[in-house]
Chain A
Amino acid sequence: MPVAVRGRSLGRPSVVGGAYALPATVLLILFFIAPLAMTAVMSLFSWPLFGERSFIGVANYETALHDAQLHRAVLFTVAFAVVTTVVSVAVGLLLAMFLQVERRGAGVIRTLVFLPVVIGMATASFLWLYLLNGQVGPVAWLWAALGLDGTPPLFLDSTAGAFVSIVVMTVWKSTGFSMLLLLLGIQAIPQQLLEAASVDGAHYWQRQRRIVLPLLRPTFALVAVMGLTQNFLVFDQFFLMTRGGPSNSTITAVYWIYNRAFMNYHLGYGAALALLVLAVLVVVNLVQLRLLGRGGSDE
């Protein structure tokens, strides 16, 4: 039986409550719902950058089904996103576990690790483009200084080399954020639990595995979901550092949308692809949240 709160019954909507929610609702509609609807409509058209547009129904989606480069791009993007997220979160977790203790210099290291997070991805891409440059980059200088034979490798000239280099660069850029969130999660764990376990004879790693990690689950889920989503949408690094090369092998999903829409002028097709990416991300996030479990501490 519904509980009646004094002055209001559960059935009648609160005007005041609605008024509080109004600004957020307006923003949501203006900046999310409306553009999403417009994109959905665009995806049903052949919409050239120059010239007349025409309604073509789901033809764009049919084209996407046969678009070989799109399939390659999606596979590449998935591989990149999974590898980068796993490494980035793992490193972030290790750093959080290591730096939560107030030892000497922990604060400095935390700051240094977090610093790359605040520079833009485009800035970071250019930075690494020159770090890895065979002629003027410090890596090349290091190679020579260490006396290694031959010319330093061109990191970005092969698909594997470019993949590894950009994974490393993205982990460097984003692990600080994972670290910070996980650090907060760790610090939310009551000390009494850990002390009690310690008194009962559990050593460090047992405490981490049996107490810290399970209680970290919600934070972990958050970090993983945000990380995977962000990495799935990767564009800047591959656009600026490899231009999708060599031979279009490092083109990502979003890069392909950009190419189709703005280099080849198929805006309708680009819109369709964007909606497909959105759909995939929604599914991925739902699966992830299901697997990692939602909600706060159940214990």
Chain B
Amino acid sequence: MRRRTVERPRRSLRSTIATVGLLAVAMVGQAACSNGGTPGPGPSEGSAAASGGVGELTMWVRAANEGKSRELAAAYEEATGIRVAVTAFPDDQYVTRLATAASTGDLPDVLATDSAYMPRFLEPNIFADLTDRVAALPFADELFEPLMDVSTRDGRVYALPRDPGNSMVLWNKDLFREAGIDPDAAPTTWAEMLESARAVDALGGDVSGFYFPGNCGVCNVFPWLPLVWASGGDLFDAEGRPTFDDPEVVAALELYRTIVQEGLVPPSAQTDTGSDWMTAFTAGKVGILPLGSFGIGTIREANPEMDMGIAPLPGREGGSASFVGGDVIGIPLASAHPDEAWEFIAWTLSDEVQIDVVAASHELVARTDLVENEHSEADPLVRIANDALAVSRTPQSVFYQQLVVDANGPFSTLFYDVTYGGADPAEAAAAAQRAALDVVGAGE
């Protein structure tokens, strides 16, 4: 039986073209709109140009610090009536966004940036010279040194420390007990760390001995690089040029490769781009987690019963080191309200704010004279992190973004290739060094 077809009137060519044309316009329009969702220029809030009068300051921060920054802004508004409009950008686009804004002079009143990027920003004179203002502060000598160093050039200071955080190795004391290892002993050598991971992993089930996000170079460099430092090596030399084929770098990569090959990490770690860094550990399923002091508060909040230990990262045969990062905060030259911006920054470093806001949320303070405060005293983990500040370093390289942060750059590729890609560590490191030199040598 013939299927019933609706009799369609014959369309003229003209109306077909009109319809198709309309659809094409719609498609282009939709494509243009959807492309607005992809990474590209444009924060959702206004920029410095919009800030008028003394009633409002504009501040740019990284997405990772958005919550804390808004807290501070709210507290400042309550205290002084001046509104601080906070705009946050995704971490891996921050430098690009700042660079683009810098070239048009379109910068906020207060600018916070990851300390690792500061060498890059010192060159094109983005920040105002704060040396004299800093000298007038009562606590000028107690400002956290590594972050001050990275913000200083030719003796002039261009930014102040904010939210220092150092890398730590965390371990689950309950799992250690179960596996028969001393839960209070921090790993002092790589071999010890490996043994402990093996012992916890042997517990079976869905418990893993170790965890690190397999697809995030910039996440891993934070706790991994101190392993190299504590063993006497480095990714960069004194001038900030790459030394990716350093023997200790190769050895530390081999360590992580061994961990993967022995199956001490869960399978899902391979594709983790960092968003699940703490998830399994917080759920009590991981023995050892190289992380940072920034995790203390987060893990505590998610799992208050967690009994965990932390310590700086061990060297191959002993010693320890930690990577101190965090933000530095300064005033762009383009700001129309430098005095008010300075008052805000000085306020964030005041006793009350450092203790009642920063330390109260298990964060490290930016002043050495406040390191021992009521909150850190009450929290042994924060105390350990504070003590480790003494052995904490920060890498200084103008090329940090291109070499380490870039997800497709030499370090990220090297890290993945050796740990999950099955590449020979020495060969891969040599290739990465050549690639790194290319990046550096090509200059701009």
Contacts and interface: CB of A to CB of B under 8 A. Distances in A.
Contact of B39 (A51, A191, A230, A239): A239
Contacts of B102: 50
Contacts of B11: 187-188
A154 B408 contact: no
Contacts of A134: 267-268, 271
B120 interface: yes
Nearest to B401: A263
A50 B125 CA distance: 10
Contacts of A180: 23
A152 to B, nearest CB: 9
Nearest to B279: A135
Contact of B273 (A46, A243, A263, A265): A243
Interface residues of B, number: 55
B38 A236 contact: yes
A296 B406 contact: no
A268 to B, nearest CB: 9
A246 B421 contact: yes
Name the prevailing secondary structure of the B interface residues: helix
Given A245-B416, A259-B408, A118 B268 contact: no
Interface residues of A, number: 54
B99 A50 contact: yes
B16 A184 contact: yes
B44 interface: no
A104 to B, nearest CB: 11
Given A49-B103, A190-B10, A123 B19 contact: no
A80 B45 CA distance: 37
A111 interface: no
Given A239-B39, A247-B417, A157 B271 contact: yes
B100 interface: yes
B30 A118 contact: yes
A220 to B, nearest CB: 12
Interface in B394-419: 401-402, 405-409, 413, 416-417
A266 B10 CA distance: 55
A154 B270 contact: yes
A120 B267 CA distance: 31
A9 interface: no
A26 interface: no
Contacts of A251: 408
Among A120, A258, A296, chain B packs the most CB atoms within 10 A around the CB of A120
B34 interface: yes
Interface in B18-57: 19-20, 23-24, 27, 30-31, 33-39
A120 to B, nearest CB: 3
Interface stretch (B1-9, B221-229, B369-377): B1-9
B8 A187 contact: yes
Interface string B84-112: 00000000010010011011000000000
A299 to B, nearest CB: 13
Interface in B417-435: 417, 420-421
A235 interface: yes
B124 A51 contact: yes
A118 B29 CA distance: 11
21 contacts: A49-B96, A50-B99, A50-B102, A50-B120, A50-B123, A101-B5, A102-B4, A120-B30, A120-B33, A120-B34, A122-B34, A135-B268, A154-B268, A177-B23, A181-B23, A187-B8, A239-B39, A243-B215, A245-B215, A251-B408, A265-B99
Interface of A: 46, 48-51, 101-103, 117-123, 134-135, 151, 154, 156-157, 177, 180-181, 184-185, 187-188, 190-191, 219, 222, 226, 230, 235-236, 239-240, 243-248, 251, 258-259, 262-266, 296-297
